[in-house]
Amino acid sequence: MASHGVRGRSGGRPTLEEVAARAGVGRGTVSRVINGSPRVSEATRAAVEAAVAELGYVPNTAARALAANRTDAIALVVPEPETRFFTEPYFSDMLRGVGAALSDTEMQLLLIFAGSDRERQRLAQYLAAHRVDGVLLVSVHADDPLPDMLSQLEIPAVISGPRSADETLTSVDSDNYGGARQAVEHLVSRGRRTIAHITGRLDVYGAQRRVDGYREALREAGHHVDELLIEPGDFSEGGGRRAMEALLQRRPDLDAVFAASDVTAAGARQVLREAGRRIPDDVALVGYDDSAIARHMEPPLTSVRQPIEEMGRAMTDLLLREVADRRPSATRELERRQMVLATELVERASS
């Protein structure tokens, strides 16, 4: 009996024809078995699988992908500088979710940064050559040209959060509006009356929705919405520091801060401590993301948990469905999905 690793007649890699001959079936039958077609009897499938094992046949996935007009690869595109990707937990959690969703597939994942005009131009050329089957796009800004470019190229794409209420691409997001409301309602319930908000980048729709939720929660609690208590940030630690300094100068009487990310809250906390403000005695502090940073801060940070890893999995699942969907793009357009996942307030000692 033949053993594993038997070479083909040519002395090289076994061929599909040799597997067919060993199994006593046609080449097309072998192809159907390898591609998982149900149109094969169990006896025939067993014979082909035995021949594959005996010969040590390895399917040529590149040739199969080419024949099917696909690459068996998707790209995770990040329109941000690499430094931000590697310092903010949001991105690592997202990547973990994407990887989990791809673990049982043959898809390869490409990580592509497109934070500069030059990188975007290079990406456009790469995608125009159809070197990937689909794109996951995270951290999308309102004026980002990448989503429209993907639509023009008719490349399946899913983005992490819509660019606006009128988004046309499939997106997966957390409930930014509801999460902000949870944060402010919690602070109000603790007796805080002068609640500041350090925003994220306001060209990001999710950050805008957090501001909306902040305002609405204050109004529902009967509090005046003081625009002087809202300071723009950029989701970064440095942005949190700068915003906190500006808020203390403008409204030194503030007794609570809702920050648009845990990283931003960490920057705000430094400034509060330098100013002699005790947390939570003098100023309560709430972040957003419920990242490892929140758990390791002193005191531990109350934070709105958004299921980032789950978002990454959901984005990938939706993209794989679009990649597998071979109907005309005009038909697919009618089925674009806007998925919104629930948030949860995790209470800790900072509030």
Task: Quick: pLDDT tens for 324-335.
Answer: 875 455 444 445
Q: Give the model's pLDDT for residue 147.
A: 87
Q: Is 6 left (phi over 0), alpha (psi -120 to 50) or beta?
A: beta
Q: Residue 135 pLDDT > 50, yes or no? A: yes
pLDDT at residue 10 tops 80:
no
- At 130, the pLDDT band (50, 70, 90 cuts) reads confident
User: Tokens in use for 310?
Assistant: 């789950």
Least confident of 3-7, 8-12, 22-26, 253-257: 3-7
Contact assessment for residue 131 and residue 66, using Cβ atoms and an 8 Å cutoff: no
- Higher pLDDT residue, 63 or 183? 183
Distance from C-alpha of 264 to C-alpha of 220, rounded to nearest angstrom: 26
Contact 343, 305 (CB under 8 A): yes
pTM, full prediction: 0.76
Measured distance CA(94)–CA(56) in Å, rounded: 37
- The pLDDT of residue 324 is 84
39/176: higher pLDDT:
176
Per-position b or e across 300-318, b if 16+ CB within 10 A of its CB = ebbbbbbbbbbbbbbbbeb
pLDDT of 35 reads 67
Q: Is the pLDDT of residue 28 over 50?
A: yes
Q: How many CA atoms lie within 13 A of 22 on its CB side?
A: 27
pLDDT score recorded for residue 121: 84
Check residues 209 and 87 and name the one with the higher pLDDT: 209
Residue 222, SS3 per DSSP: coil
Residue 165 has pLDDT above 70, yes or no: yes
Residue 117: predicted pLDDT: 82
pLDDT at 55 over 70: yes
